[in-house]
Structure 1
Amino acid sequence: MNICQILLSTGEGGLEKHVREMSISLNKAGHTVSVIADPQFLNTLPEQIQRFPVNACLSRNNPLLWLSVLYFIHRSKADIVHAQANKATAVLNKCRHFHSAKTVGTLHNIKSRVKDYAKLDQAIAVSNTLRSQLNIANAVAVYNGIATPTVKAINLYEDFGLNPDLPTFCAVGRLVETKGFDLLLKAIDGLHLNLLIIGEGKERPHLQKQIQALSRNTHCRLTGYRPDVSSLMQACDGVLISSRREGFSYVCSEALLLKIPILSTDVPVANEVLDNTLIVPIADTNAFRQRLESLLANPARWQNLMQDAIALAHTSMTMEAMTEKTVSVYQTLIEN
Structure 2
Amino acid sequence: MKIIHVVYSLEMGGAEILVAQLCRLQRLHGHDVSVIAYSNLGTLGEQLVAEGIPVAVLGEAPLPRTLLRFLSAFKRLRPDVVHCHNPAPTLQAAIPARLAGVRSVLATRHSLVAPPYERGTEIAFNAVARSLNWIVGICDATCMNLQHTPGAVRERIVRVYNGVDPIVPAASADLPIKRGLTLLFVGRLAAIKNLPTLLRALAIAVARIPDLQLWVVGNGAERPHLDALVAELGMKQNVTFWGERLDVEGFFSAADIYCMSSLSEGLPMSLLQAMSVGLPAIVTDVGGMAEVVKNADAGLATPIADPSAMAEAILQLASDSSRRRALSENARAAYQQHFTLERMAASYMELYMRRS
TM-score, normalised with respect to structure 1: 0.88
CA distance in 2, matches of 1:223, 1:141: 34
Q: Is the 8 A contact 1:154 1:232 kept in 2?
A: no
Q: Deviations over 1:240-271 (max 9, x none)?
A: 11111112211210010011111111233321
Q: Is the 8 A contact 1:179 1:242 kept in 2?
A: yes
1:225 is aligned to 244
**How much does 1:196 deviate?**
1.1
1:260 is aligned to 279
The one-letter code sitting in structure 1 at the alignment partner of 2:72 is Y
Counterpart selection for 2:347 from 310, 325, 330: 325
Q: Is the 8 A contact 2:201 2:308 kept in 1?
A: yes
CA distance in 1, matches of 2:277, 2:7: 29
2:106 is aligned to 104
**How much does 1:140 deviate?**
1.5
**How much does 1:97 deviate?**
4.7
Q: Is the 8 A contact 2:74 2:97 kept in 1?
A: no
The within-5 A match list for 1:150-161 is: 150-154=168-172
**How much does 1:30 deviate?**
1.0
1:88 is aligned to 89
1:246 is aligned to 265
User: SS of 2:278's equivalent?
Assistant: coil
Does 1:178 find its partner at 2:192? yes
The one-letter code sitting in structure 1 at the alignment partner of 2:327 is L
User: SS of 2:155's equivalent?
Assistant: coil
CA distance in 2, matches of 1:96, 1:201: 33
CA distance in 2, matches of 1:240, 1:328: 33
> Relative to structure 1, is the Cα distance of residues 225 and 305 closer, same or farther in structure 2, using a 3 angstrom cutoff?
same
CA distance in 1, matches of 2:31, 2:284: 38
**How much does 1:152 deviate?**
1.9
Q: Is the 8 A contact 1:246 1:267 kept in 2?
A: yes
1:300 is aligned to 322
Deviating more after overlay: 278-287 vs 267-276: 267-276
User: SS of 1:227's equivalent?
Assistant: coil
> Relative to structure 1, is the Cα distance of residues 65 and 284 closer, same or farther in structure 2, using a 3 angstrom cutoff?
same
User: SS of 2:283's equivalent?
Assistant: strand
Q: Which runs of 5+ in 1 are unaligned?
A: none
2:150 is aligned to none
Q: Deviations over 1:104-150 (max 9, x none)?
A: 11111134314133441111112221111221121211122222212
Q: Is the 8 A contact 2:230 2:236 kept in 1?
A: no
CA distance in 2, matches of 1:10, 1:34: 12
Deviating more after overlay: 116-125 vs 175-184: 116-125
2:312 is aligned to 290
**Percent identical:** 26
Q: Is the 8 A contact 2:110 2:138 kept in 1?
A: yes
**How much does 1:218 deviate?**
6.7
CA distance in 2, matches of 1:10, 1:247: 18
**How much does 1:96 deviate?**
5.0
**How much does 1:235 deviate?**
0.5
Q: Deviations over 1:158-199 (max 9, x none)?
A: x56x53xx3111112122211111111111114221111111
Does 1:139 find its partner at 2:166? no
> Relative to structure 1, is the Cα distance of residues 282 and 155 closer, same or farther in structure 2, using a 3 angstrom cutoff?
farther
Q: What RMSD, in angstroms, separates the aligned Cα atoms of the two structures?
A: 2.5
Q: Is the 8 A contact 1:230 1:254 kept in 2?
A: no
> Relative to structure 1, is the Cα distance of residues 70 and 227 closer, same or farther in structure 2, using a 3 angstrom cutoff?
same
Q: Deviations over 1:9-60 (max 9, x none)?
A: 46432222222221221111111223222452554424643444311x335x
2:36 is aligned to 36
Count how many residue pairs are aligned between Structure 1 and Structure 2: 327
CA distance in 1, matches of 2:65, 2:90: 16
> Relative to structure 1, is the Cα distance of residues 171 and 96 closer, same or farther in structure 2, using a 3 angstrom cutoff?
closer
The one-letter code sitting in structure 2 at the alignment partner of 1:137 is E
CA distance in 1, matches of 2:349, 2:244: 33
2:151 is aligned to none
CA distance in 2, matches of 1:317, 1:274: 12
Q: Which runs of 5+ in 2 are unaligned?
A: 148-153
Does 1:58 find its partner at 2:61? yes
**How much does 1:67 deviate?**
0.7
Q: Is the 8 A contact 1:249 1:268 kept in 2?
A: no
TM-score, normalised with respect to structure 2: 0.83
CA distance in 2, matches of 1:171, 1:258: 14
